Structure 1
Amino acid sequence: MASRIRYFDIAKGIAMICVVLGHSVLMVVPMSGAARLVYIFCFSFHMPLFFILSGYFMHADRPFAWRKESRELLLTYALTAAAVVVLHAVLALALHHDTAHVTGTWLLAALYGSGANTGNELIAMSRSIGAIWFLLALFWAHLLVHIAYRLPATPLWIIGFFALGYLSSRYAWLPFSVQAGLTASLFVYLGCLGKRFDVIGLFRRWPVLWLPSLAVWGLAIWKYSSFGLATNVYGQTPLLSIVGSVCGSLCIIGASQLVDRWIPYLNTALAFIGRYTLAIFCAHLLENDVLPWVTIMSKIQPIIGYQAEPFLIFAVKSVLIAVMALVLYRIPAINAVYFPSLRRKQAVVKG
C-alpha cells in the first residue's frame, strides 16, 4: 500500500474545517464584517480543493472502477441520506408533527440529490439534501474525466462538459447533481494535470510562482460576489472565480507543506482530519440537516450577539461531528463505508 503524503491530508483537513466554518457563518443573520470575510475565504477554495486533490490521485488512464466508485460515493450517499430521512421521521413522531409530510419532504430531497434549492428544479422542492451533493457530483466528475481521457482533444471535452453543466443549469436544475458533476469535472481534470506535470515540484523548484498564485487568489477574494459549486454559481466574474479557486487551492497546499514541516501537533491534527474527511463530511451533513439550528440560534443570539454566534456554532458543530464520526467508526460494517482505510486493512488481514 502506498504511503500517504501528509501535507495533502493537511490541506484536506484545512478545507474540511472551512466547510464546517463556512456553513456555520451562513446560518447567522445578520452577518458581521468578520464573519463575511471568513465566509468569503472559505468559499473561495474549499470545494474546488477537494475536487482537485481527488483528480490528483485518480488514475484516468485505467478503466473506470465502477464497483469502488459506487461503493465509496453512491453507497455512502445513500446511507447518509437514508439516515437523514429516518432521523427526521423519528423527530417528527416524537414532536407530534406531521410525520408523513416531514418524511416525504426529506425523502424527496434525498432522491433529488441537490446541494441547495435553485428554484429551477424539475419539481417543487422545499428542502435540499445539503453537503453530500459532493459525493454525487464527484462520481459524475470521475466518470466524465475517465470518458474524456479516452477521447481525442481531451481538454476540449472537459471544457464542453463544464459549459454544458454551467449553461444548462441556468434553465433547469436536474436531479442527482449531474450538472454540478459536469462543472466539477474541470477541477478533477486540473488535478490530473497537476499530477502529470508535477506542478507541486515546479513550485518547489521555482518558489517565486507562489507570489502570482497568491495575488490571483487575493484578487478573487477581493472581487468575490458569489461562488458555489453545489448549484453552479460562479459570481459576476466566473473566470476569475475559477482561476482564483485553483490558485487558492495551490496556496493552501503550499501552506500545508509549511505546517507539515514546521508546526508539530497542528500538522498531526490537521492530517488526521484530512484522512477521515468522508466520515466527517457525512457527520456534518447529519447534524446540519437534522438538528433544529434555527431554534438553537434564536436562543443563543440574544445572549452572545450575532458577531460571536457563528464561531460558537462552529465550536458546537465540531464537537458534535467528532462524536458522530466516532459513533460511525464503532458500528460494524457501516464503519467500512465511512472509513475506507478500515476496509483495506480488513482485506489485508483476510488476505
Structure 2
Amino acid sequence: MTGVSLSPPRAARVPSVRMPHWDNARFLAVTLVVIGHGIQRLTYDSNYALALYLFIYAFHMPAFAIISGYFSKPGPPSALQMRRVLTDILLPYFIMEAIWALVKFFAEGETDLNPSKPSWTLWFLLALGIFRLILPYLALLRWPLAWAVIGSIGVGYFDNVDSTFSLSRAIGILPFFVLGWKLREWGVIERWQTATRSVWLYRGLAVTVFAGWLAIILSNIDLWRTIDLRFWFFYDDSYQGLGESQWFAGGVRLGLIVLAVILSAAFFSLVPRRHTWITDAGQATMYVYLLHSFVLYPLRESGLLQDERASAMWLLSLVLASIGVALVLSAPIVKKIFHHIIEPKPRWFFAPLPDDSAPPAKKP
C-alpha cells in the first residue's frame, strides 16, 4: 500500500506478460489491508480482533513494498517514466487528498487541508514516490539492502523525522522495497515459478510459520495490548514516541523486520502461481486500496464497532464484509467509473516528450 499500485508505478513495470502469481498476491494483500482497516475499531474491546490485526499488520504492507520493489528499475528514470510517476502516484495522491478534505469538512466540520500529512491510506502513495527517488542512489552502493536496514533502524532514533510526507514510514519500510528489487536480481521468484517437487514442502513450512506466529500472538495477547505492539508495525513513530527510549530500541525494529520478511516469504509461497478467479482482480488493487476507506469510514466513525458489538460474530461478519468490499471495488465497472480519478491522464499538463529516437546533434 503497485504494490499500492499497489501495483508499482507503470514506469517501473518490466515484464510485458503478467505473472498470475503477482496479481494473486496483490489482491490477497490488498484484501488483508481492507480487513485490517475494517476490524481496527474492534481491537479496543476484543482480544480476538487484536490478534487478527497483529497477525495481518506484521507483514501485509512489507509484502506490498516487496512487490513494488520487484517491479522497479534501479537506473535513472527516463522522461516518460518520470511522467508516469507523476500520473500514477502524485496526481492521484493530491486528488484523493482533496476529496478527503471535502469528506472531513462535511462529516466533521474539519477545514484543515494539509497535503503534507497524508490521510489514512494515502501514505503509501508518497512512500512509493520516495522509493523511486531513492533506489537509483542505493543501487550505486555496495550492500544496498544493508544500508536500507540501517536507515530503517536509525530513523526511529530521530523524533524530528515524522509522518510529514510519509518520510518516517517510507524510510521505515524501505528495506522491504529494496529486498523486492534484489529478489528480482537474484532470480528467486523465477526459480520458485518453475519449482515442482519442493513446492508443497515450502507451503507446508509456510503454514507452520503462520500457525506459530498466530500461537505466539494468542498466548501473549495481554502483553501485546499492554505494550501497544500494533503501533510498532506502522514503522511510523520514533522509538521515543512509542515509549521506548532505550538505546537498544532499534533491535526491536530489526526483529520486526526479520519477522516481516519470514511472514512475507510464507505469504508469497502460499499464493497460487497459476491463473485463478482472483487473478484479474489483482490488476485493480489501486482502486481497492484508494476507495475502500470511503466505504469503511462511515462504519468506523459511527461507533457501531465498539463495546457490546465487539464479539466474535461481529469480527467474522466484518472479515467477510471486507472481502466483499475488496471484490466489489476490483470489479471492471468500478474501474470504468473512477478511472479518471485513480489513473488520471492529463496530457495537456505536460510538455512534449523528447524524441529519444532522433540522432544526436553534431557538435559545431
Mark the runs of 5 or more structure 2 residues left unpaired by the alignment. Answer: 1-14, 218-228, 243-248, 346-364
Choose from 6, 12, 18 the match for 2:32: 18
The structure-2 alpha-carbon separation of the partners of 1:202 and 1:324, relative to structure 1 and needing over 3 Å to count, comes to closer
Query: How far apart are the structure 1 equivalents of 2:283 and 2:89?
Result: 16
Query: How far apart are the structure 2 equivalents of 1:307 and 1:152?
Result: 50
CA contact (8 A) 1:329 1:335 kept: no
How is 1:202-221 mapped onto 2 (pairs within 5 angstroms)? Answer: 202-203=191-192, 204=195, 207=199, 221=214
Q: Which runs of 4+ in 1 moved over 6 A?
A: 233-236
Alignment partner, residue 280 of structure 2: 272
2:164 corresponds to which letter in structure 1?
Answer: P
Q: How many residues are paired up? A: 301
Q: Indicate the structure whose relative CO is greater, using CA pairs within 8 Å and at least 6 residues apart.
A: 2
Question: Displacement of 1:26 after TM fit?
Answer: 1.5
Choose from 311, 315, 340 the match for 2:316: 311
Alignment partner, residue 86 of structure 2: 70
1:137 corresponds to which letter in structure 2?
Answer: A
Question: Displacement of 1:156 after TM fit?
Answer: 4.2
- 1:145 has 2:135 as partner: yes
Question: Displacement of 1:159 after TM fit?
Answer: 3.1
Query: How far apart are the structure 1 equivalents of 2:204 and 2:111?
Result: 51
Question: Displacement of 1:296 after TM fit?
Answer: 5.0
Alignment partner, residue 297 of structure 1: 304
2:343 corresponds to which letter in structure 1?
Answer: A
The structure-2 alpha-carbon separation of the partners of 1:7 and 1:320, relative to structure 1 and needing over 3 Å to count, comes to closer
Alignment partner, residue 5 of structure 1: 19
The structure-2 alpha-carbon separation of the partners of 1:5 and 1:327, relative to structure 1 and needing over 3 Å to count, comes to closer
Choose from 34, 43, 47 the match for 2:48: 34
Choose from 320, 334, 337 the match for 2:341: 334
1:297 corresponds to which letter in structure 2?
Answer: L
CA contact (8 A) 1:301 1:309 kept: no
The structure-2 alpha-carbon separation of the partners of 1:273 and 1:230, relative to structure 1 and needing over 3 Å to count, comes to farther
Query: How far apart are the structure 1 equivalents of 2:202 and 2:325?
Result: 40
1:286 corresponds to which letter in structure 2?
Answer: F
Alignment partner, residue 262 of structure 2: 247
CA contact (8 A) 1:77 1:135 kept: yes
Query: How far apart are the structure 2 equivalents of 1:174 and 1:294?
Result: 23
The structure-2 alpha-carbon separation of the partners of 1:142 and 1:229, relative to structure 1 and needing over 3 Å to count, comes to farther
Q: SS at the partner of 1:248? A: helix
The structure-2 alpha-carbon separation of the partners of 1:273 and 1:33, relative to structure 1 and needing over 3 Å to count, comes to farther
Query: How far apart are the structure 2 equivalents of 1:28 and 1:334?
Result: 31
Q: SS at the partner of 2:74? A: coil
Query: How far apart are the structure 2 equivalents of 1:272 and 1:232?
Result: 36
Query: How far apart are the structure 2 equivalents of 1:87 and 1:30?
Result: 25
Query: How far apart are the structure 2 equivalents of 1:51 and 1:281?
Result: 14
How is 1:63-142 mapped onto 2 (pairs within 5 angstroms)? Answer: 63=77, 65-91=81-107, 99=109, 102-104=110-112, 107-108=113-114, 110-113=115-118, 129-142=119-132
Question: Displacement of 1:228 after TM fit?
Answer: 2.0
Identical aligned residues as a percent:
20
Deviations along 1:217-241, one digit per CA (max 9) or x if unpaired, are: 6555555543423515899733332
Question: Displacement of 1:175 after TM fit?
Answer: 0.6
Query: How far apart are the structure 2 equivalents of 1:149 and 1:312?
Result: 45
Question: Displacement of 1:62 after TM fit?
Answer: 4.7
Alignment partner, residue 354 of structure 2: none
TM-score (norm 2): 0.70
Deviations along 1:40-76, one digit per CA (max 9) or x if unpaired, are: 2211211011000111111113537322222211211
Query: How far apart are the structure 2 equivalents of 1:91 and 1:26?
Result: 20
Query: How far apart are the structure 2 equivalents of 1:332 and 1:159?
Result: 36
1:330 corresponds to which letter in structure 2?
Answer: I
Q: SS at the partner of 1:132? A: helix
Alignment partner, residue 148 of structure 2: 158
Quick check: 274-283 or 312-321, which moved more? Answer: 312-321
Quick check: 317-326 or 26-35, which moved more? Answer: 317-326
1:254 corresponds to which letter in structure 2?
Answer: S
Query: How far apart are the structure 1 equivalents of 2:140 and 2:64?
Result: 24
Mark the runs of 5 or more structure 1 residues left unpaired by the alignment. Answer: 93-98, 114-128, 262-266, 339-351
Alignment partner, residue 359 of structure 2: none
CA contact (8 A) 1:112 1:176 kept: yes
Query: How far apart are the structure 1 equivalents of 2:33 and 2:41?
Result: 13
The structure-2 alpha-carbon separation of the partners of 1:309 and 1:23, relative to structure 1 and needing over 3 Å to count, comes to same
Deviations along 1:196-250, one digit per CA (max 9) or x if unpaired, are: 1122344537555566666666555555543423515899733332122112222
Q: SS at the partner of 1:150? A: coil
CA contact (8 A) 1:136 1:176 kept: yes
TM-score (norm 1): 0.73
Q: Which has the higher helix share?
A: 1
Alignment partner, residue 223 of structure 2: none
